[in-house]
Chains A and B, each alone.
Chain A
Amino acid sequence: MRRAALILLPYSWLIALFLVPFLIVIKISLSDIALAIPPYTPNLDLSQGWAGIKDFLSQLDLDNFKFLTTDDLYWKAYLSSLRIALLSTFLTLCVAYPLAYGMARAPDEWRPTLMMLVILPFWSSFLIRVYSWKAILANEGLLNQFLMLIRVIDEPLTILNTPTAVYIGIVYTYLPFMVLPLYSALEKLDGSLLEAAEDLGCTRFQAFWLVTFPLSRNGIIAGCFLVFIPVMGEFVIPALLGGSQTLMIGKVLWEEFFSNRDWPVASAVAVILLAILVIPIVLFQRNEEKQREAEG
C-alpha cells in the first residue's frame, strides 16, 4: 500500500504537469486555426453527450503536419537547430572538460569554492546574462574595444547577430550543465589508477587517454545530453544574439505562436520537435541506467 502511494506521487505529478499539457498540445496540433478565443477549432462540448464527442473527433485531422512538409522553412529550421545543437554541445564539452578536470584535481579545500563559482551564474537572471553578451559582442562592445586597444585588430569584428554569437551564448549558458556531470565523474576517479597506468609504462598523456578519458565517459554522455536536448529548442539565445541570420526551430515556434497566432501549426512544430528529442532522451536514460547497474 505504502509502496503504491510512494510511486503514485511522482506519477501524478508527471501526469498533471507533463502528460495532460502534452495531450492538449497534440489536440491543438490536430485542430484548425480560428479567429476566436481560443484561436482554434473544434472545442470539445460535453453538453451534447456522445454525439458531441463524435463530432469533435471527426473534425481533427493531420493538415497542420502536412502543411509543415510543404514549406521548406520548417525542415531547414529543424536541420539548422540540429546542427547548432550538435556543434555547440561539442564546443561546450571542449571548454568544460579542462575546467572539470582542473576542479577535480584541485586541493580538497578549494573544491567547494570552485563548485560555487560554477553555479554562481544561476543566481542572476538568465535573460540578463544573455542580454549583457550583446554589450560585450557588439561592434562598439567591450570585446572589440579591448582588442582594438591592444592593437590585435584595426576595425571592429562583427560578431553580434551572427551564428558565432549564438555559439558563444550557448557555450556560456550551458557550461555548468556540462561541467557538473563531468566533475562528478572525474572526481570519483581513483588516483592510483593513473599511477598504475604510469607504472605499467604509460606517459602522462597516454594515462589520461587510456584511463581518465574512458572512465569519464558516463559524465561526457550525461553532460552532452543535458546540453544538447535544451539547446535543440533554444529560443532566447538565437533571438537575442543571432539576429535574422540564425534559423532555429525555437524561433519559428515563437513566431507561429505570437506573430502569426497560428496555434495549431505551432503545436505541430512542437510535437515534431519532441519526437526528434525522444531519441536522445531515451539514449540518455539508458546510459544512466547502465551506469547505475555498473555502480550497484
Chain B
Amino acid sequence: MAEPNSKPNTTVFAPWTDPDAVPLIRFRNVTKRFGDFTAIDDLTLDIYEREFFALLGPSGCGKTTMMRMLAGFENPTEGRIEIGGQDMANVPPNLRAVNMMFQSYALFPHLSVYDNIAFGLKRSDMPKEQIPDRVNEMLRLTRLERFAKRKPHQISGGQRQRVALARSLAKAPKLLLLDEPLGALDKKLREETQFELMDIQEKTGTTFVIVTHDQEEAMTVASRVAVMDAGVIKQVDTPPAIYETPNSVYVADFIGDVNLIEGTAAKTGEHAYEITYAEGVDPIKVTECEHEIAEGAKVTFAIRPEKIVVTQDPPEDRANAMQGKIIDIGYLGNLSTYHVELPGGQMVKATMTNASRISRRDYTWEDTVWLGFRSSAGVVLSE
C-alpha cells in the first residue's frame, strides 16, 4: 500500500490510505442546526479504528457539537452517523459503546475516586466480582492507587483529570471522546499528560477522538487532525501534512506561524511556477506544486518562518533570495525571529536557531540582509 508520494511515517499506521479499510465512524452528509444557527454544515468524514483523531478549530466552529453527536447528546438534523456500521440515530447515550471524558471532568462529587471509576461498570453487565479487578486495573493505569478512597474535591486538578480518564476508559469503550481534556492543566502538566494519553491509547487500542483548540496539542497527540471552521472541515490530514502542505490560507494561518505573500502565478514547467508579488524584484520560484494552477491566477504563497534563512551575503544554495531590512528581532533563547521588510513593504518573518552566541551575530536592527529559501519550501494556495 506504499504509494510513491506517501510520507515515510504514515506507512506505519495509515488505514485512511487503504481503500479496503472499513472506518469505525462515518459521518454522512451530517448537518446540525440549532434554530437558525448551523453548527455543522453537510459534513462527511471517516474515522478509523485505533486512530487518535483530533478535531481542531476556534471556539464555536462546531467541533464540540460533532463530539456530542457521537456521544448521543445531540442528534443530527440531517444526514447520518454510523459507528461500527450501525446507524446511531435514536440510540441513546447509555446504549452506545462510546464514553466521553468531559471538559469539566464531571466527576461525581459525592462518590470516591474508586466509586467514580466503578460507576459505569456497575451499570454494565459485568459480573459483580470482576468489578474490583477492573477498577484496580484502571487505578494502576492512571497511577491513582493511593487516591482510591478520596473524594474528587480532595485531589489535585491533574489527578482529577486522570480519574476522569480512568472512568471513561473503565468500560473499555470502542470509542473514547475527549472534550478539551487538558484545558484546565498548566503547561508543563499538559505536555506530560499528552504523552501519557498517547501511551494509554496505544496500550488499550481504543479509538480516541479529541476536541481541542490548542494546535500544539492536536499536532502532538493525533494520528490525523481535522481543522474546522464555521461548521465545515477545512482539511483532514496527518500533522506533518497539515503543517507542510496546508490546502488553504485558513489552515496555513491557523496552524503555526506563516508568511503569506499574495501574487500572480505563471507556469514555468512540470509542477513548477513563478509567483510575481512586487514590481522590480525577482518572482518567487516554486517547484513540487502538486495541484494545477491557472495561468495568471491570483494566489497566496505560504512559507513557514523556519524555512527561511537570514544571511548577510546573497545565499547561493537557495533558489529564492530576496533583500530586506531588519525591522525587529524577537529573541526567544533557542530561536530568534527576524521581522524583515521587503522593498515593496511586505513584512516577512524568518526564524533562525541561535547556534552561536548572540554577540557573534553579524546583523542587527536596521541592517540589510538576504532571505533565502528553497523552491520546495513553501506552498501555493489559491483559496
Partners in one complex: yes
Which A positions have Cβ atoms within 8 angstroms of B?
190, 192-193, 195-203, 206, 210-211, 214-215, 217, 294
Query: Are the CB atoms of A190 and B94 closer together than 8 Å?
Result: no
Which candidate, B22-30, B102-110, B247-255, is the interface stretch facing chain A?
B102-110
How far is it, in angstroms, between the C-alpha of A195 and the C-alpha of B110 when the chains are bound?
Answer: 16
Query: Are the CB atoms of A199 and B153 closer together than 8 Å?
Result: no
Query: Are the CB atoms of B108 and A211 closer together than 8 Å?
Result: yes
Q: Given A206-B123, A294-B153, do A199 and B100 touch, yes or no (CB 8 Å)?
A: yes
CB 8 Å contact bits of B97-131 with A (1 = contact, 0 = none): 01110111011111000000001100110000000
Q: Residue B93 at the A interface, CB < 8 A?
A: yes
CB distance from A107 to the nearest CB of B (A): 14
Partner of B167, one of A200, A211, A215: A200
Q: Given A206-B123, A214-B110, A215-B110, do A200 and B104 touch, yes or no (CB 8 Å)?
A: no
CB distance from B168 to the nearest CB of A (A): 8
Query: Are the CB atoms of A190 and B106 closer together than 8 Å?
Result: yes
Q: Residue B171 at the A interface, CB < 8 A?
A: yes
Which residues of chain B are within 8 angstroms of A203 by Cβ–Cβ distance? 94
Query: Are the CB atoms of A195 and B109 closer together than 8 Å?
Result: no
Can you show 25 pairs from A to B with CB atoms below 8 A apart?
A190-B104, A192-B102, A192-B103, A192-B106, A195-B73, A195-B93, A195-B100, A195-B102, A195-B106, A196-B100, A196-B106, A198-B73, A198-B93, A198-B94, A199-B71, A199-B72, A199-B93, A199-B100, A200-B94, A200-B167, A201-B124, A202-B123, A203-B94, A215-B109, A294-B153
Which residues of chain A are within 8 angstroms of B71 by Cβ–Cβ distance? 195, 199
CB distance from B238 to the nearest CB of A (A): 29
How far is it, in angstroms, between the C-alpha of A210 and the C-alpha of B73 when the chains are bound?
Answer: 19
Q: Is the interface of B mostly helix, strand, loop or mixed?
A: loop
User: From B179, which residue of chain A is reached at the shortest CB distance?
Assistant: A192
Interface size range of chain B in the complex:
20 to 34
Query: Are the CB atoms of B110 and A200 closer together than 8 Å?
Result: no
Which residues of chain A are within 8 angstroms of B72 by Cβ–Cβ distance? 199
How far is it, in angstroms, between the C-alpha of A202 and the C-alpha of B92 when the chains are bound?
Answer: 10
CB distance from A294 to the nearest CB of B (A): 7
CB distance from A210 to the nearest CB of B (A): 8
How far is it, in angstroms, between the C-alpha of A196 and the C-alpha of B103 when the chains are bound?
Answer: 11
The winner among A197, A199, A202 for most chain B CB atoms within 10 A is A199
Q: Which of B58-78 contact A (CB under 8 A)?
A: 71-73
Q: Is the interface of A mostly helix, strand, loop or mixed?
A: helix
How far is it, in angstroms, between the C-alpha of A197 and the C-alpha of B110 when the chains are bound?
Answer: 13
Query: Are the CB atoms of B92 and A200 closer together than 8 Å?
Result: no
CB distance from A196 to the nearest CB of B (A): 4
How far is it, in angstroms, between the C-alpha of A203 and the C-alpha of B123 when the chains are bound?
Answer: 9
How far is it, in angstroms, between the C-alpha of A90 and the C-alpha of B171 when the chains are bound?
Answer: 39
How far is it, in angstroms, between the C-alpha of A206 and the C-alpha of B123 when the chains are bound?
Answer: 9
CB distance from B63 to the nearest CB of A (A): 17
Query: Are the CB atoms of A197 and B102 closer together than 8 Å?
Result: no
Query: Are the CB atoms of A200 and B109 closer together than 8 Å?
Result: no
CB distance from A256 to the nearest CB of B (A): 46
Query: Are the CB atoms of B99 and A200 closer together than 8 Å?
Result: yes
How far is it, in angstroms, between the C-alpha of A215 and the C-alpha of B110 when the chains are bound?
Answer: 7
CB distance from A189 to the nearest CB of B (A): 10
How far is it, in angstroms, between the C-alpha of A198 and the C-alpha of B95 when the chains are bound?
Answer: 9
Q: Which 7 A-B pairs have the closest CB atoms?
A: A200-B120, A201-B123, A196-B106, A192-B106, A198-B93, A214-B110, A201-B94
User: From B164, which residue of chain A is reached at the shortest CB distance?
Assistant: A196
How far is it, in angstroms, between the C-alpha of A34 and the C-alpha of B99 when the chains are bound?
Answer: 78
Query: Are the CB atoms of A193 and B123 closer together than 8 Å?
Result: no
Query: Are the CB atoms of A201 and B102 closer together than 8 Å?
Result: no
Which residues of chain B are within 8 angstroms of A195 by Cβ–Cβ distance? 71, 73, 93, 100, 102, 106
Q: Which of B206-227 contact A (CB under 8 A)?
A: none
Q: Given A195-B93, A215-B110, do A200 and B102 touch, yes or no (CB 8 Å)?
A: no
Which residues of chain A are within 8 angstroms of B100 by Cβ–Cβ distance? 195-196, 199
Query: Are the CB atoms of A200 and B73 closer together than 8 Å?
Result: no
Which residues of chain A are within 8 angstroms of B124 by Cβ–Cβ distance? 201
How far is it, in angstroms, between the C-alpha of A214 and the C-alpha of B171 when the chains are bound?
Answer: 23
CB distance from B103 to the nearest CB of A (A): 8
How far is it, in angstroms, between the C-alpha of A202 and the C-alpha of B167 when the chains are bound?
Answer: 14
Q: Given A215-B109, A294-B153, do A199 and B104 touch, yes or no (CB 8 Å)?
A: no
How far is it, in angstroms, between the C-alpha of A45 and the C-alpha of B123 when the chains are bound?
Answer: 74
Which residues of chain A are within 8 angstroms of B92 by Cβ–Cβ distance? 198
Q: Given A200-B119, A200-B171, A201-B124, do A192 and B104 touch, yes or no (CB 8 Å)?
A: yes
How far is it, in angstroms, between the C-alpha of A217 and the C-alpha of B168 when the chains are bound?
Answer: 26
Which residues of chain B are within 8 angstroms of A190 by Cβ–Cβ distance? 104, 106
The winner among B99, B123, B167 for most chain A CB atoms within 10 A is B123
Q: Given A190-B104, A294-B153, do A199 and B94 touch, yes or no (CB 8 Å)?
A: yes
Q: Given A201-B94, A202-B94, A214-B110, do A196 and B102 touch, yes or no (CB 8 Å)?
A: yes
How far is it, in angstroms, between the C-alpha of A201 and the C-alpha of B110 when the chains are bound?
Answer: 18
Q: Given A192-B102, A195-B102, A294-B153, do A201 and B108 touch, yes or no (CB 8 Å)?
A: no
Query: Are the CB atoms of A200 and B123 closer together than 8 Å?
Result: yes
Which residues of chain A are within 8 angstroms of B106 by Cβ–Cβ distance? 190, 192-193, 195-196
The winner among B71, B94, B120, B168 for most chain A CB atoms within 10 A is B94
Which residues of chain B are within 8 angstroms of A193 by Cβ–Cβ distance? 106, 108
How far is it, in angstroms, between the C-alpha of A210 and the C-alpha of B109 when the chains are bound?
Answer: 12
Which residues of chain A are within 8 angstroms of B168 by Cβ–Cβ distance? 199-200
